[in-house]
Structure formats: structure tokens, C-alpha cells
Amino acid sequence: MTDFWEHPLVETAASYSVVVLCLVVFMAIFEIVTSYNNWEEIKKGNLAVAMATGGKLFGIANIFRFSIEHNDALTQTMGWGLYGFCLLLGGYFIFEFLTPSFKIDEEIAADNRAVGFISLIISVGLSYVIGANII
């Protein structure tokens, strides 16, 4: 039975399942943190929200990519993924703090695509920095 759990197809399915579950949970947390409803805004065609949300999704997935690559145990992968998510969430708050002349959430909700694009780039960029430090 041990050979079954160590088979690459089973390990891939396990990692995939855990990452999808974590993505759902982490995106729900981002939904709580933002002042707008991500999926409702995307449904209305708000490209700024779509870019910001896509950046968050990519950022989380990228952090997990590094975590899977550097850890054999699923629990370690989850731990680093959670830690990386917390850092990415912190980056979101820092972005909001460093732009006191306007509110990031309000601009993204108003479909300010420039702000949505910068939000995407920040999430993607930070995910590479976070991922590079995962051991």
C-alpha cells in the first residue's frame, strides 16, 4: 500500500487537491478583505477586478508551485503555502498603505484598469520573491 501513496500520479492528485482546496479558502479570505464582491464584479465585466483577482490566483498558485517543488511532505507544502499566502496578503495591505492618495479597493471596484494591472503585477512579483525563499 505504501507504493500506492508514493506513486507520482497519486502524489500529483494529492498535491492538486490540496492546492485547489487552499485556493478556494484563500480566495474566500481575499473576498472578505476586499470591499467589493470579486465574482459579482467579474460577472459585470469589471476588468480591473478580474486582473487583480487573477493576480491573486496566480500568486497563490505560484507560491504553491515553489512549495511543491521544494518539499516532499504534503504537510510541509501546505505550511509553506499558508505562510506564503499570509505574506501575499500582507503585501496587499502594504500596497493599500503605500497609496494614501487613493483607496485601492475603490479604484479597482470602479474598474480603474491601471490600478487593477498594478495589483496583478504586485501579486505575481511578490509570489516569485516569496517562492524563491521557500525551502
Give the count of domains, the chain: 1
Which tens digits make up the pLDDT trace of 80-129?
999 999 999 999 999 989 988 989 999 999 999 999 999 999 999 999 99
Mean pLDDT of 63-87: 92
Side-chain half-sphere of 61: how many Cα atoms within 13 Å? 10
Structural domain of 122:
2-132
The average confidence (pLDDT) of the chain is 93
Q: Are 116 and 48 in contact (CB under 8 A)?
A: yes
Distance CA 50, CA 44 (A): 10
Distance CA 13, CA 17 (A): 6
Band (1; pLDDT cuts 50, 70, 90): low
CA-closest candidate to residue 59, choices 135, 122, 133, 134: 122
Exposure pattern of 84-112 as b/e (b: 16+ CB <10 Å)?
Answer: bbebbbebbeebeeeeeeeebbebbbebb
